[in-house]
Structure 1
Amino acid sequence: MARYLDVHPENPQRRVIAQAVRILSEGGLIVYPTDSCFALGCLPGNAEGLDRIRTIRQLDSRHHFTLVCRDLTQLGQFVRLDNTAFRSIRAATPGSYTFILPASKEAPRRVLHPKRRTVGVRVPEHPVVRALLAELDEPLLSSTLLLPDQEEPLTQGWEIKERLDHVVDAVLDSGDCGTEPTTVVDFSEGEAEIVRRGAGDPSRFE
């Protein structure tokens, strides 16, 4: 049965964040709010957690998972950035964007796209996930919580708890989340290519 963690949306309680971090550190899979919509997350080294995300979302091997990072410095450990991409991403973070970039040697192999050797990365703006990342001091391996039988992501923590009670370990609820996923920008070929228009303003990359 999943733990239900009620967390303040603007001033996350340290004890609640610590509980979530402990669950993650023990190999758990959590649902947490972001500045776009709810997401599934585990630690990058958690192979079982990755498999559980694939099962919940019914994903194949071509799906781009995302490393959710504390800041641009942490993000830069896992991807290769040229000057153009660095400047563009710095201006847009934190924010509701996911960037696809060539992976560095430090990127976990299990999160790489099998053919392109790329990885999705983002720096979110939501206070709850930022508190989680600060306490963890490492990224979250993450995927939008969009269930196979749903056209839009679930928006309420209590409903997620009911639906996923026996397949996740904790649900962090800070109130209603949005339904619009991040804007996805692909920098893997050098130039910005908008792959998906979402919560982040895409005009800065056009």
Structure 2
Amino acid sequence: MRYTASTMKRRSSVRIAAALGAAGAGAVAGYGAWVAAHWLRYGSARAPEPGEGDPLPDRFMPSYDVVERHAVRVDAPDATVLAAACELTWQGPLLTRAIIAARSWFLRAPPDRADLPQAMLPYLTSIGWRVLAEVPGREIVAGAVTQPWRGDVVFPLDGAEFARFAEPAYVKIAWTLRADPIGDARCVFRSETRVGD
């Protein structure tokens, strides 16, 4: 068989499309496995390990159905690390943008406004999350009560009402960014997300 330039180009396009399709299917399968694992653990949130416990978010959400905790050692002062975490651009990673775009498409959500801040903490507070507590340079606890399965998510709650809110058909979400110093220029940066009803 003789290959022409157009045949080669077509085969190359097919290979690229197949590779992109396989990569997309892999990403969807990976995300699906992550969701399934969390669904199976729903209602049996893991207790904190020694050193993980944090009384500040306990004031607002002592019981929860799902929890996700992460920690990493950083060679920088705690205040610097916490400030950098609050200024991260949440839309940076491609996978994050893809998941958000897929959710928006599936739920027919209105598009994000372009004038919203790009840094994580200013963005979240601009759309309705509330800072529940803060230890300057060390920790921030934020929370929201919402219905995340809706396309147009609204946050109807003021931060002061968060702890006592208990209406059905809403989800409470609290997350913490915390930097624990271990010496003059090192810290353990921790994040924790709690979800419950």
Q: Same fold (TM over 0.5)?
A: no
Alignment TM-score, normalising by the size of structure 1:
0.21
Higher relative contact order (CA 8 A, sep 6+): 1
Alignment TM-score, normalising by the size of structure 2:
0.22
Pair member with larger Rg: 2
